[in-house]
Structure 1
C-alpha cells in the first residue's frame, strides 16, 4: 500500500479510535470512580509502553527530563482525571466536541508563552472556536438540565493543558524521539498513579463484586491499549508519511465518531448543538488554514 492510501487509512482508524475513547470513559465509570479509572488507565498504558519502548528513554538528557515530566503532567496525567470527572456529569459526545478546542489553545498559548506568531485567520479561528464552545455548553445545559454543565469546564481545562504540552514538545523536546517522550511521560506518572490506584481501593472487595467491575475493566483496558499506546504510535507515523496540516484533520472527524457513539448510547443531541459543534470546527479550520501565497 502506498503512502497516499496508507495516510487515509491511518486517518480513519485514528478518528475511530480517539472518537470512541469518550464512550469508553463513560462505560468505564459504571464500575469505577474517576480516580480509579484514571489510575488504572495510566498503569496499564505504562506497562505496555515499557514492553515496546523502554530502551527509548536512555537518550533523554538530564535537562530534558524536566520537560518530559512536565509534558507527562500536562499531556496525560491531569487530563486523564479531568475527562473522567467531567463525564460523570456531561455526555461523552459533548466531551468529544470540546476536545476540538486543542488546536485553538495551542495557537493562543504558543503566542502568550513562547512568542510564536500567528496570522489574522488564526486569531479569528480562536475567537470563533471559543464562541462555539460557549454556545455548545449553554445549549447543552438547557437540553439536559439534570446535568451539571460546569463540569464541561474540566474538559476545556484539559484542552488548555494539551495545548501547553504541544508547545513544550515543539519548543523543548525536538531532539527526543516520539516514543522516548511517550515512555518518559508514563515513567514519570506511574508511581503517583500506583499510589492513587491502591489508595482509591480500585480492587477492593466492594468494587470487585460490583455489577460492572469486569465490563468496566475491559473498557479501560481497550481505552489504554488502543486509545493511548496504538494511537500514539500510529499518529507519529501519520505525521511522517503526510504533513502536520493533514494530520490535524483527525480533529474534524473525532467529534463525528463521538456523537454517533453518544446517540447509540441514548444521549440527547439537538440540531442546535450540531450548529455549535460546526462553529467550533470552523474555528479549527481557520486556525489550520494555510496562508495564501500571492501570484506573481
Structure 2
C-alpha cells in the first residue's frame, strides 16, 4: 500500500514540475537561443546533481556505463534541444499536449524493439492517440497560421527518445539507484553540453549588460534544477517502482498544468485543439487500460 501511494505521489509531483517546464522554456528563450538553452540546462542540472550525489557514481558497475550514456542522451540531452527549438515556433501548451504521446510511443517501442506483447485496447489506444496528434497539429496550424507546425516533429523525436529511455531504465538499469542513474547521465553529458555552448556564441555576449539574458538565466536555473535535476531523479525512481507504461502516464496531467500556464501567458488554444488534446489523452488511457486478451507479434 505504501509503495502504491509513493508512486502516485511521484506521478503528481512530476506532472506539476514538468507541466511548468514548458512555460519556463518559453521564458528562457526570450534571451537565449535554443542551443544555449539546451546546453545550459544540461550543465546547470549536472552541477546540481553532482553536488548532491557524486558519491553515487561508484555504485555504477562498469558494464552499465554504456546504458547510462545511452539513457543520458535519449532521456535528457536530445529532448532538451528538441523542445527548445520546437518552442521557437509552437506555443508551449501545444508542445506539452504533443508530449503526451510518450506512453503510446513507449508501448510501440516495447512491441517492436523489446518484444513485448500488446492488447486490443492498446492497439486501439495507439490509433486514437495518433489521430488526435494529427488533428492537434492540423487545428493548431489553422488557428495559428504564423507558427511553423513542422516543428512539431521535434516533439515527436523527443517523445521517441523518452519512450526508448524508459524501456532502457526498466530493462538494464533496474538495480542502480535513481540518483546514481541521474548523476551518471549528467557526467556523460557535461562535455557534449559544454562543446555545444561554446559554439552557440554564448561566451561572446556581454551577459551582465543584457537584461533579457539575465532574466532568461533566472528562469533557466529553475528549469534546470527542479525541472531537470530533481525531476530526473524522481522519474528514474518512479520507473523502478512501477512500470514503463505507468511512469509515462505522467503525461496525462502535464498538459493540464501546461495549458493553465499557457493561457495565463496569453497563448491561444481553440476548441478544436481542446478536442484533439482530449482525444490524445483518451488514446493514452486506452493504451494503458488492462485487458485480459493479449496479442503477440
* Distance verdict in 2 for CA 1:7–1:168, change over 3 Å: closer
Alpha-carbon offset, residue 219 of structure 1:
0.5
Cα distance in 2, alignment partners of residues 262 and 117 from structure 1 = 38
- Equivalent residue, structure 1, for 2:114: 114
Residues 237-292 of structure 1: per-residue CA shift (max 9 Å, x gap): 55678777765543221100111111111111001100000010011101111225
Alpha-carbon offset, residue 204 of structure 1:
2.9
- Equivalent residue, structure 1, for 2:125: 125
- Equivalent residue, structure 2, for 1:84: 84
Q: Report the TM-score, using the length of structure 2 for normalisation.
A: 0.91
- Equivalent residue, structure 1, for 2:262: 262
Cα distance in 2, alignment partners of residues 210 and 254 from structure 1 = 32
Cα distance in 1, alignment partners of residues 72 and 7 from structure 2 = 27
- Equivalent residue, structure 2, for 1:74: 74
Q: Does 1:146 align with 2:130?
A: no
| Structure 1: gaps spanning 5 or more residues | none
Count of matched residue pairs: 292
* Distance verdict in 2 for CA 1:163–1:10, change over 3 Å: closer
Q: Does 1:214 align with 2:214?
A: yes
Alpha-carbon offset, residue 62 of structure 1:
2.5
- Equivalent residue, structure 1, for 2:18: 18
| Structure 2: gaps spanning 5 or more residues | none
Q: Report the TM-score, using the length of structure 1 for normalisation.
A: 0.91
Cα distance in 2, alignment partners of residues 109 and 9 from structure 1 = 27
Q: Secondary structure at the match of 1:176?
A: coil
CA contact (8 A) 2:106 2:245 kept: no
* Distance verdict in 2 for CA 1:157–1:246, change over 3 Å: closer
Cα distance in 1, alignment partners of residues 224 and 77 from structure 2 = 13
Alpha-carbon offset, residue 170 of structure 1:
1.8
What do you get for the CA RMSD once the two structures are aligned?
2.1
CA contact (8 A) 2:132 2:276 kept: yes
- Equivalent residue, structure 2, for 1:65: 65
Tell which deviates more after alignment, 199-208 or 231-240.
Answer: 231-240
* Distance verdict in 2 for CA 1:62–1:43, change over 3 Å: same
